[in-house]
Every structure is written in C-alpha cells, then in structure tokens.
Chain A
Amino acid sequence: MIDLLLLLILVIFAIAAVSMKDLLNTTIILGAYSMIMAIVWTRLNAVDVAFTEASVGAGITTMLMLAALSRTRRKEDEQEPGVEGKRPERFNIRNLLLYIVVVVTFGMLIYGTIDMPDFGDPNAPVHTHVADRYIKKSYKETGELNFVSAILANYRGYDTLGETTVIFTAGVSVVLLLKKKKR
C-alpha cells in the first residue's frame, strides 16, 4: 500500500518537474523526487543504494544544479514561437511522429517487464549466479562484514577504480572548461 503511494508520488513529482516554467522549482522538485526514491530503495532493503540516492541525488546534484542555475536564466523565454498571435498547432506531422515514438517506446518497456522474475523470487538469475558466493564467503575472503562494500572494493575493484577515474576526469574537465582566465 505505502509502496504504491510512494510510486504515485514519484509520478506526480516527475510530471510536476517537467511542467514547471521556473528552473529553480524544477531543481527542488527533483531533489524531493530523489528523497522519495531513497525511501523506495529502503523499502526494497537496498540500503546502500538508498544512501547514495539521498546523498548524491537529493544532496549534491541539487547543489550542482543550483550552481549551474546561477549562470543561466531561471525563467523560460517569453518570446516562444507561436505563443504570440496564433496558437501553436498541436497535431502537425512532426508532433504525430513524436507521439508515435513515445507510445512505441512505452509499449516496448512494458513488454520488457513481462519477462522479469517476481520481486524476491529465489530462482531469479541475479540470485543464482554469484550472489550465493558473495553472501557465504565474502567475509572469509575479504574481511568485510558489509558485502556491498566487499563487492565494490574487492570483487569489483577495477570497476570502482574506473568510477573514481571518471569522477576525476569530470572534475578536471570542468576546471579546463570553466576556469576563469587570469588577468
């Protein structure tokens, strides 16, 4: 029941974020969206993911969006084509193609979920491959009690090294692109 309510709130927030004209409102709604998403992850017992969602999605992303917002305009341009004088045509051929693409993609995504195993199904592929070894042996093999950390740092150490390198590259790129020139 509460899960459905949370998912409903997520949909409402997503629609609100898209339909807002003020970018500051959109940023704050997306922060709230991440916070609700963190609660959903907690309900699914994925506490590490929930933690990341709360700190990165609701915390730092909102701050970085605000920082980016301080360099641009908050409001949408008033002088949109078609707003003045005559109303924009809703159903020209271009819009029709867009609607078809959206509907087909939506249908394919729904079709894709039909094959997915039920939530918590012990015979799902994710639970039958390596998860068993992680749960049974990770403490003996890595000395970590939290096996999410054990997977990230030990079994998937190269991935985490790559992830850290990606973050480093992102920071260096921002410095190279936006650095004020010394005068």
Chain B
Amino acid sequence: MKEHIIIRTVSRMLIPFIQLFSLYVIAHGDISPGGGFQGGVILASSIILYVIAFGMEEGEKRVSEKMRAVLNSTGLFIYAGIGVLCLVAGGAYLEYGTLPLGTPQHASHLGIYGIEIGVGITVSSIMMTIFFETARHEDDEDD
C-alpha cells in the first residue's frame, strides 16, 4: 500500500491524534469509561495503521523487535511489582491502600493508576507483537 498517497497522508495526519486519544483513555480511566486495556489497544492500532500505510520495514524502525520484547514484559512487571510493593508496605498483595502515599484513598488511587499504565504497556506491545509476527513479511518465501 506504499504507493497510495491519500492513505499515507491521511494516516500521517490521524496517527498523532489516535495516540493522544489512547493516552487520554489510559489517564482518564478513573473518571470516564476506558482504562489501560482499551487505551493500550488504541495505541497498538495506531502503530498498525502506520505499518499498513508505510510498510513493515518502516514500522520496524519505529517500534523495533527488541523494544517490543522489552515492553511486553515491562507492563506485567509494573503490575506485579506494585503488588509486591504493597506486600513490602505491610498490606496484602495488591492492597493499594497500604502504600505510603498519603491517605489510603489517595494511595489506592495512585496504585490503580500504576497498574492501568502497566496494563496499557503490556496490551499495546503484545497487540503490536501479534500483528508484526502474524502479518506476512515481504521477504517471506512463498510456500
């Protein structure tokens, strides 16, 4: 699809807004519909739109394989890590209220923020990984 100038121009204009919207969805999961999962999926779809418009090689330049491999586990690590921090702070696993961040209500709010970000990172990166690995590469041999 590299030769379609309309698709390339439109996606170049749309992608920043899609990514901004995905960050908005992750950040406002506490007061409006959405959250880490939905925001992560939207972030991944913006990268997939980029790959469809500009080709697999350009996409690999933006989100390299190594970066995806790191991000895949970073999000889950953040989630589980916040759980362990709660244990260290003296509460139960994932009992955010015990984190030493002000009142229990505030600490719980921040803890939920943290895990939403973790979920967002893992979901977006995994969705990108599945797309990159599933879609046919141009240098694949025909079989």
**Interface on chain A toward B: helix, strand, loop, or mixed SS?**
helix
**Inter-chain contact count A-B, CB under 8 Å?**
138
- How many residues on the A side are at the interface (Cβ–Cβ under 8 A)? 46
The complex places the Cα of A167 from the Cα of B127 at a distance, in Å, of 9
B15 to chain A, nearest CB (A): 14
Inter-chain contact A154/B108, CB cutoff 8 Å: yes
Cβ contacts under 8 Å, B9 to chain A = none
B131: chain A residues within 8 A (beta carbon): 63-64, 67
B109 touches A146 (CB 8 A): no
B57 beta carbon closer than 8 Å to chain A: no
Contact B80 A161 (CB under 8 A): yes
Contact of B115 among A50, A52, A153 (CB under 8 A): A153
A53: nearest residue on chain B (CB-CB)? B38
CB distance from A182 to the nearest CB of B (A): 11
* Residue contact B112 to A144, C-beta cutoff 8 Å: yes
The contact string, 1 if C-beta is below 8 Å from chain B, for chain A 148-183, is 111011100110110111011011101100111000
A residues neighboring B (CB under 8 Å) = 47-48, 50-52, 55-56, 59-60, 63-64, 66-68, 70-71, 140-146, 148-150, 152-154, 157-158, 160-161, 163-165, 167-168, 170-172, 174-175, 178-180
